[in-house]
């Protein structure tokens, strides 16, 4: 199961106690995935369609609780992917159906369609602060998605309607979340990109399991990055030690060839011998073997390098003369 559908499963299980919040959640889902159908006989019915089974079940239950009307759930095969299913929640034409439209703000009390429809019909539904989180949850169940936190931090709502995108952005702002809007083929995407903001939203709308998963991933990612940085740093140090040691060994071999190690002072001869015997040791390790300080060993090895350089220059001079 994808991360997004497990988040939706979580959200579909959240049950609001307040009627106002249940209506807000249903209205948001309706605005994302709902349609109004008018038949030849001027009968009106309403459908909600989704590929997410738990969301369909939730909307079916909400519709029955809120409106106490005959409600159906119909399962179709997806025309795109035949193994996928599409769930349709339908409130068929019946007496009292206009109360649904009135409560969603689509009709006024005299059963006249709202002029602003489909403009800002959500206005009265989210007038109360408590309903904002419920509205965002309904919108996410209807047309939200979230990336697996292992891959990226990204949560979005897709809506074909610009007004609705702006409304969602305003609701996010009410929770101090900075949602951005971008145009995508056929509509608008309202999205959050920061892990902290995504967690905050999930906490508000009720997906605590997803929130924990993102937090865990974030900690693991941070640890992984820290370890990688440390390993890289160590590798760089080892590389530096190996390179210096190889240069020193080359110098010592040159001295041995032209001068012989026995021609060196006892302290330089000892340093040369220790370096030849311990090519992988660091400066500090060689110093410890000789029982002297780091700077002392550094000084001796530098003297050896300088001596080798001098011998090389002399050799070249001799060749020229």
Minimal distance in Å, beta carbon 128 to Zn ion? Answer: 5
Stretch touching Zn ion by CB under 5 A, among 17-25, 63-71, 242-250, 268-276: 17-25
98: left (phi over 0), alpha (psi -120 to 50) or beta: alpha
Quick one: 23 or 252, whose CB is closer to Zn ion?
A: 23
**Please, how many CA atoms are within 13 Å of residue 123, restricted to the half-sphere of its CB?**
11
Q: Does 201 bind Zn ion (CB under 5 A)?
A: no
Contact 169, 197 (CB under 8 A): no
Q: Does 130 bind Zn ion (CB under 5 A)?
A: yes
Among 283, 18, 267, 31, CA closest to 143: 31
Quick one: 18 or 240, whose CB is closer to Zn ion?
A: 18
Stretch touching Zn ion by CB under 5 A, among 126-134, 159-167, 245-253, 263-271: 126-134
The footprint of Zn ion on this chain (CB under 5 A) covers a number of residues equal to 6
Minimal distance in Å, beta carbon 101 to Zn ion? Answer: 20
Q: Does 56 bind Zn ion (CB under 5 A)?
A: no
Q: Which residue has the tokens 């995508």?
A: 184
Minimal distance in Å, beta carbon 20 to Zn ion? Answer: 3
Minimal distance in Å, beta carbon 76 to Zn ion? Answer: 33
Quick one: 21 or 287, whose CB is closer to Zn ion?
A: 21
| Stretch 69-88 residues interacting with Zn ion (CB under 5 A) | none
Among 7, 33, 63, 131, binds Zn ion (CB under 5 A): 131
Residues that bind Zn ion (CB under 5 A): 18, 20-21, 128, 130-131
């Amino acid at each position: 199961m994808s991360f997004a559908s497990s988040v939706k499963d979580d959200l579909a299980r959240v049950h609001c106690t307040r009627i106002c919040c249940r209506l807000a959640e249903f209205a948001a889902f309706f605005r994302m995935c709902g349609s109004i159908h008018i038949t030849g006989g001027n009968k009106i019915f309403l459908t909600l369609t989704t590929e997410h089974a738990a969301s369909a079940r939730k909307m079916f239950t909400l519709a029955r609780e809120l409106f106490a009307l005959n409600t159906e759930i119909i399962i179709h095969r997806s025309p795109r992917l035949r193994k996928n299913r599409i769930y349709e929640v339908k409130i068929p034409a019946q007496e009292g159906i206009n109360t649904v439209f009135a409560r969603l703000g689509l009709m006024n009390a005299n059963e006249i369609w709202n002029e602003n429809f489909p403009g800002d019909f959500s206005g009265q539904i989210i007038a109360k602060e408590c309903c904002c989180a419920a509205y965002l949850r309904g919108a996410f169940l209807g047309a939200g998605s979230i990336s697996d936190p292992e891959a990226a931090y990204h949560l979005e709502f897709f809506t074909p309607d610009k007004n609705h995108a702006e409304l969602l952005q305003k609701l996010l702002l009410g929770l101090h979340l900075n949602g951005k809007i971008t145009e995508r083929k056929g509509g608008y995407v309202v999205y959050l990109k920061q892990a902290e903001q995504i967690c905050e939203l999930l906490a508000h709308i009720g997906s605590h399991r997803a929130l924990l998963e993102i937090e865990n991933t974030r900690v693991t990612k941070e640890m992984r990055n820290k370890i990688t940085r440390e390993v890289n740093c160590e590798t760089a140090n080892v590389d530096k030690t190996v390179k210096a040691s190889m240069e020193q060994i080359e110098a010592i071999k040159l001295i041995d060839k032209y001068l012989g190690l026995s021609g060196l002072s006892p302290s330089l001869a000892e340093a040369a011998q220790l370096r030849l015997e311990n090519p992988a040791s660091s400066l500090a390790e060689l110093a410890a073997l000789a029982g002297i300080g780091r700077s002392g060993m550094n000084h001796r090895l530098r003297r050896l390098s300088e001596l080798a350089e001098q011998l090389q220059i002399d050799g070249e001079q001799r060749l020229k003369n």
